[in-house]
Amino acid sequence: MHRSSKTTAKKIAAVIISLLMIALVLFSFIYVVAEADHDCEGEHCQVCECIEICAGILQKLGFKASSSVVPGALALIPLLAAVILTGTYTGTTPVSLKVRLNN
């Protein structure tokens, strides 16, 4: 049974969106950590505004404490890379192989 191009395109789009979400979380965390002890210019500090935006992104995605983001993201990246590079996901199921399951 051949995969349709629509299904393949959806899978590729899902992988790309997942990678972008992981990058968003990882870079937001890195920025917050790197700029945590900057020299604040006062009331209209642009760095403080960016930190608030990054912290808001992390909170909206469900990360209460930013320290839990990095281990989670670092654990997903090698796993995703292993699945993509080794091709372990074959997509073959008993239904796609037309296996008849008798009692």
Domain parsing of the chain, residue ranges: 5-86
pLDDT of 89 reads 61
3-state SS of the chain? CCCCHHHHHHHHHHHHHHHHHHHHHHHHHHHHHHCCCCCCCCCCCHHHHHHHHHHHHHHHCCCCCHHHHHHHHHHHHHHHHHHHHHCCCCCCCCCCCCCCCCC
Residue-wise pLDDT tens for the chain (103 aa)?
455 677 788 888 888 988 888 888 888 888 888 887 888 888 888 888 888 888 888 788 776 654 555 666 677 777 777 777 776 566 777 777 888 878 7
